Amino acid sequence: MEAYLDNSATTRCLESVKDIVVKTMMEDYGNPSSRHRKGVEAERYLKEARETIAATMKVSEKEIFFTSGGTESNNWALIGAALANRRAGNHIITSAIEHAAVIQPMMYLEKLGFCVTYLPVDGQGHVSLEDLKAALCQETILVSIMYVNNEMGAVEPIEEIGKIVKGYRPDILFHVDAIQAYGKYRIYPKRLGIDLLSVSGHKIHGPKGTGFLFVKEKTKIRPLILGGGQQRGMRSGTDNVPGIAGLGVAAGEAYQNFDKKVGHMYELKHRMSKGLCKLPEVTLNSDDGESSAPHIVSASFRGVRSEVLLHALEDRGIYVSSGSACSSNKKLPVSTVLKEIHLERELLETTLRFSFCEQTTVEEIDYCLEALGELLPVLRRYTRH
């Protein structure tokens, strides 16, 4: 048996996504910038995807711009907005537990002379609204807070943050990295005070290398990719028709039978959390309630290095993560997120992330828990001797 419990790293494409990708690669393969029929057919796929995505968030199709994924969307939102609004101020606010695709652009902006405030989080990974209020100042031009933390699933108080930011000064831009939230929550940017919102396709059963950035109308932002003037001059480059078409299908399906899907993921999460709590010397880092996302469980296994346990589970056909898939390749010694929540030092290198999707089964959860129950005593004896 196999158990794929690493859906926050990537998801399997839907059959409907695969079908439209193949069709647009093999049949309707025109360049949407071409003026002939093949080009018009290709342009229709872009239009349909844009309409589908816009409808899921109750925004205008003109506010959706396609990108190569979450990293590009975050980079464009932060660097493009900061540079476009520099005359208004040079202060930016974010949290200390953002994804590297936010933290590294922030570090780049600091080198350009911007001042960045990194808000701390509590033991559950939530930013303090009081800290946010204290950080806002007349120089603030941009606030960027993730909707769901990718490592431990903490859900940030986005609605309250939006109210605070816009209440302080309406022209401060509010960016949200929704890469782990889109498809798991109903997100309506205009109700939440969001000006910029980033989404990645492969987290919602779409193709890798796809994503979009919501840019609220009249938001001042500079393009980062210049060239042929595609997407109204805001994001040049030949449109990735197969990827965009697949992204549109995935986005539409993500919000079909939505409550049932999310309910199923919460059931899986409760089952996993309950099972982990029965195992000796296991610490849950994710809240089991609704202040944490339905699809992510983070746990630490005292006395067993995460890499050792990850590969022991892999040998049994169980696939999990030791943290963010994007940062694990860089051989970072310890997760910044776990440090920021002040996790006990002995547990920092013993943490795994289990992440689900609507296709994950109860049998996969039970198989993983059974394997952990068998492996942990053996691995701890080996480690301690």
- The whole-angstrom separation of Cα 217 and Cα 340 is 35
Catalytic residue among 115, 137, 326, 357: 326
Three-state SS sequence of the chain: CCEECECCCCCCCCHHHHHHHHHHHHCCCCCCCCCCHHHHHHHHHHHHHHHHHHHHHCCCHHHEEEECCHHHHHHHHHHHHHHHCHHHCCEEEEECCCCHHHHHHHHHHHHCCCEEEEECECCCCCECHHHHHHHCCCCEEEEECCCECCCCCEECCHHHHHHHHHHHCCCCEEEEECCCCECCECCCHHHHCCCEEEEEHHHCCCCCCCEEEEECCCCCCCCCCCCCCCHHHCCCCCCCHHHHHHHHHHHHHHCCCHHHHHHHHHHHHHHHHHHHHCCCCEEECCCCCCCECCCEEEEEECCCCHHHHHHHHHCCCEECECCCHHHHCCCCCCCHHHHHCCCCHHHCCCEEEEECCCCCCHHHHHHHHHHHHHHHHHHHHHHHC
326 is catalytic: yes
CA distances from 245 to 50, 53, 154 (A): 9, 11, 31
- The whole-angstrom separation of Cα 99 and Cα 78 is 13
CA distances from 68 to 32, 143, 199 (A): 17, 23, 10
Q: Which residue bears the tokens 């890499």?
A: 307
Q: Which residue bears the tokens 């806002």?
A: 136
For 142, phi then psi, to 5°, come to -155, 135
Question: Quick one: tokens of 264?
Answer: 């199923």
- Active-site residues, by number, are 326
